Each structure stands twice: as C-alpha cells, then as structure tokens.
Structure 1
C-alpha cells in the first residue's frame, strides 16, 4: 500500500507543472488561463448538466474532463493550430508522465484518454462538447483584444459539430454563439 501511495505522490508531483501551463485563452483579469482552470470548469459544467444526461456515467465524464489535457504538460497548442502530430505528441507526453503510476491506474487513464479521443461513447461525446464549449465561454469572457483574427469567425462555429447531437447542448451552444455575436458587435461599434 505504501508503494502505491508513493507512486501516486510521485505522479502528483510530476504533473504540478501543468498548473503553470498557459492556454491560448485569456481570463477576464488579463492573464492567461491555465490548463487546470479549463479542465476544472469543464468538470463543473459536467456536474451542472448531469440531469440533462441521465443515461451517462457522470464519474467517467468527470474523469475525462480532468485527464484529457494532461498531455499538454509541455504546452498548449490552440485548436486552430493543432495537427495530427500534435495530438500524437500529447498522447506520448501523457504516457510519459503517467508511467510512474501503478499499472492499473495508468491503464485506466490511457483507456479514458482513448475513449475521449475517439468521441464515440455518450460520456466521450459529452466531455468533448464541454471541452469546446468551455473554450468559447472563456474566449467570450476575455477582452476581445486577446482574440486572434481567426477567432472572430471560428468562435461562431467552433464545437458545433460536438453539440448538435443533444437538444440541451444545442441550446447552450446557441446562447454562447449569441454572446460571441454580441461581443463582436460591441467591439466593432
């Protein structure tokens, strides 16, 4: 039991730098959002939406929300700049950082990451939708001067393919899109 605890502590120490990794998004106070701040709010969103998805395993969705960006331990790449090599590198980084864990936990995390990436199960579909929605919400909360030119159009459609499958997510995405439109219109006045 002590050995397992030591391995878990070693992993927790190894991922501490993730708290320092700035994402592309900015916070409303003018600083970059961190990776854990993004995953925390995704998890909060999952809890808030649980009643809309009675058929899902919320614990699995929460786990996917928390672990899906561990592979960004060496940096975040904005979604509009990512390619297959970046996704592969994130998986390699994930495997590298979790190898200190007991095998059964390591296997569980790898399985969750694969499920998230495949976006086939109800849990993975919801976690992916939350990933996209949270990113747009954060962009809307940041000062528009932090937006890249591509984001004016991208934020209007980003994640829509991940939310159209469920009525509640579709409504939520519509509200977020309207907030984006309002922000752009206010900025362009």
Structure 2
C-alpha cells in the first residue's frame, strides 16, 4: 500500500468521527460512531485478565471495525434498522473492502465473517460488548434524552447475548441496577 492509498483509506474511515449515533453523552452531546467503537475496544482491553483464554486483540479488532459500514450509510438505531438497511450497508462495506490491499481486505472479511457467525468466544464477547455499551451509554445520558420505548430496552436489551458468560451476565445485571436507580431518581 502506498502512502497515498493509505491516506485515502484514512480519510474514508474518518467519516465515523462525524457520523452521529442515536445516543448522547452524559453532557447531552450527540455521540459519534467512532466514540462508540473506541469505547467497546477499550471495554475489551479491560477484559484481558477476565477472559485470559480468549484472543482479546482479536476482540478489539472486531470492535474497531464493526461499524465501518456506517461510513457510507450513517447510524440507524437497531430498533429502526430494516433488512434492506442491513443489505445496503453490507453492500457498501463490501465495495469498500474491495478497494483495500488484498491481505488487509482478506483479514477484515475474515473478521466480519466470524462476527456474523457469532460462534467463537471472541465474536460472542464482541457482540455482547457492542450491545452492552449502548445500555451503559443510555444510563450515562440524561434521562430526558430517552425515548419512551427505551425504558423497556434498557431493562431487557442484551440479556440474550451475554447468556454464554456468567461474568458478562453479572455485568448486565449491574447495568440493570443502574438503569432502575436512574429511573427511580426521575420519579
């Protein structure tokens, strides 16, 4: 890859810094997709000792690349995203991967396939962190930013993806306790 080709890729992925997510920060600022990806990568790094039998570096790579398709489509909240939206994002991401150097494209496609299959412990941890970060972020945001349906989401979302791990299940329960406390404080 030449420095010029490298810069072209860097300019494309920079879009995630300016791609807003549905979530807001604790200061009521709209979060970017890049911030979300960075935080789940950090969340993975913090689990290195907890999941010592897992390739945490691979989990972190999954976290960093998982929303690259949103460079082209923007963020569509999970509760609004349709199958057509998913197909369009996958198509545009695939076209982007075609432009990358062969080995890099191959490596990223392998990660996406593993994430999609969600069979490996690495993929399961990635998926859990991706979903858990969203509920953590909502708990940190002002409750005035919550939409009505998000009260239910905060209470029920992501329990299915953590069921494979007692530690992640305990984490989800802790997040739920924060949710309930936040809701009680509002009343």
Task: Name the TM-score, length of structure 1 as normaliser.
Answer: 0.93
* RMSD of aligned residue pairs (Cα, Å): 1.3
- Give CA-to-partner distance per residue, 1:55-99, whole Å, 9 cap, x none: 211111010000000011131111111232222222122223333
CA contact (8 A) 1:14 1:97 kept: no
The corresponding residue for 1:99 is 98
Which runs of no fewer than 5 residues in structure 1 stay unpaired?
none
The corresponding residue for 2:173 is 174
Offset at residue 10 of structure 1 (A): 1.4
CA contact (8 A) 2:21 2:75 kept: yes
The corresponding residue for 2:109 is 110
**SS at 1:33 equivalent:** strand
CA contact (8 A) 1:20 1:34 kept: yes
Offset at residue 24 of structure 1 (A): 0.4
Number of positions where the alignment pairs a residue of Structure 1 with one of Structure 2: 186
Matched residues in 2 for 1:8 and 1:115: separation?
A: 25
Offset at residue 100 of structure 1 (A): 2.5
CA contact (8 A) 1:28 1:141 kept: yes
The corresponding residue for 1:44 is 42
Task: Name the TM-score, length of structure 2 as normaliser.
Answer: 0.94
CA contact (8 A) 2:47 2:56 kept: no
Which runs of no fewer than 5 residues in structure 2 stay unpaired?
none
